[in-house]
Amino acid sequence: MPSTQPTTSRRRALSLSALAVGSALGGCTSLFDDGPPTAERQVSPDWRPSPGQWSTWNYDFARTSHNPFAEPPRREPSPAWTYDVEESVDSLVVAKDTVFVGTEGEIVALRASTGDLQWRQSMPNGPRLTWIDGRLYGATGNELRAYTSDGDREWTYRRDEDQMQFFDVLERRGTVYLLFRNHIERIHADTGTKLGAQSLYGRFPVTTGGLVYASEYAIEAYEVDGKFDSRWSVLPENARQTYTYSAIANGLLYRPEYEPVSGPARLAIYDADSGTARERVPLEHTPRSPAVGADRSFVSTSVVTADEIGSEGNLLALSADGKRRWEYDAAGSLGPPAVANGTVFVGPFANGRVPLLAFDAENGDELWRLPISGSTLAIAGDTLYVSANGTVRALRR
């Protein structure tokens, strides 16, 4: 089994030894708040997935769910392969000709071309996967692991608290950031050693490489230079909140919103520089994470109340500035859409009445449908990957 200790090179052994000594003296406090040791691993703030990759649940850190390099099938596809994981799938990412699958208890790596098993690693509590510049991160509520593409563990960061808490992973310039609802932790990219923490709101982060935006109740915009520093904060009217990711593109922030008490929902579009509201598109049901292409945005909706969950939903296509273009009313609730090659893909949420659907992004014409119930999607190369009923399927022409 791979070691849980950091993988080091001889040329950085001295600096890492110094870091270990400092960590021992300072415990897990903010010992390095005034300037962390320089890391060999340096990821650019504007790092983006390369062709053949789908790096996180919404494709990239901008959360656009739009892969501009991919050419998935516009005509009805066939399964190129199917792999049984025997557990529910929590995340699905693609990189280096490998499909990485996070299930309830492990990480599974499959060859993208054939579906053959490459490696698997036990990781309890449903790891959420993120691929960043040659490294795979697996995050659960109380730890973060860094893996090579071959499944060798580079380091493990275990949190101070026993309480399970959801967090997102970002990385830039030698620092890995763990963004929680009410704080942000910073760790060294080479070693996984804690550098410090800040009491800032970090839920649902999005970025194109400049400001980082967090959003659940208010919208918080941060500048990042080692630490996070507040640039501006906006509280949407009527305390509208979101329970999923916004997307950022075209200098605009596309935020799915709903009102907790009365229930009205909308897709709100904000100026990314100032937080000024540009457009508010009313929606009948709770919106999911939007997908944003070059000149279109797409938002699906679901009924999420306990007694009617999954019962209704639709898919709405908008121009980049929020004008309605076309709409599809489904027989049940829809999962988040994904876009590539002029095609919008969407599956069901919490119901068996809606198939996997493909639409022409420009005019809304239905291109094909398949009786597959999954709504976790990833698009890379010529393939649409779908997780459904304990399986991962690769769909191609």
Structural contact between residues 359 and 367, judged by C-beta atoms closer than 8 angstroms: yes
Question: What domains can you pick out in the chain, each with its CATH number?
Answer: 41-396 (2.130.10.10)
Structural contact between residues 111 and 119, judged by C-beta atoms closer than 8 angstroms: no
pLDDT given for residue 2 in this prediction: 37
Classify 14 as helix, strand or coil. helix
Joined tokens for residue 174: 């030698």
pLDDT given for residue 31 in this prediction: 47
What's the CA gap between 61 and 93, in Å, rounded?
13
pLDDT given for residue 37 in this prediction: 66
Joined tokens for residue 13: 């052994």
pLDDT given for residue 36 in this prediction: 56
Which residues, including other chains, have CB under 8 Å from residue 151's CB and lie 6 or more apart?
2, 107, 109, 118, 119, 120, 121
pLDDT given for residue 327 in this prediction: 98
Joined tokens for residue 351: 């119901």
pLDDT given for residue 389 in this prediction: 82
Mean pLDDT by 10 residues, the chain (397 residues): 38 41 37 66 97 96 98 96 90 95 96 98 94 97 95 94 84 97 96 96 97 95 97 86 93 91 84 96 94 94 89 95 95 96 96 95 97 90 93 95
In the sheet that holds 376-380, the strands lie side by side as 78-84, 391-396, 383-388, 376-380
Q: Is 34 left (phi over 0), alpha (psi -120 to 50) or beta?
A: alpha
pTM of the entire structure?
0.90
In the sheet that holds 175-179, the strands lie side by side as 168-172, 175-179, 184-188, 194-198
> CA separation (Å) from 239 to 182, 250, 274, 320?
18, 25, 18, 25
Count Cα atoms within 13 angstroms, Cβ side, for 224: 29
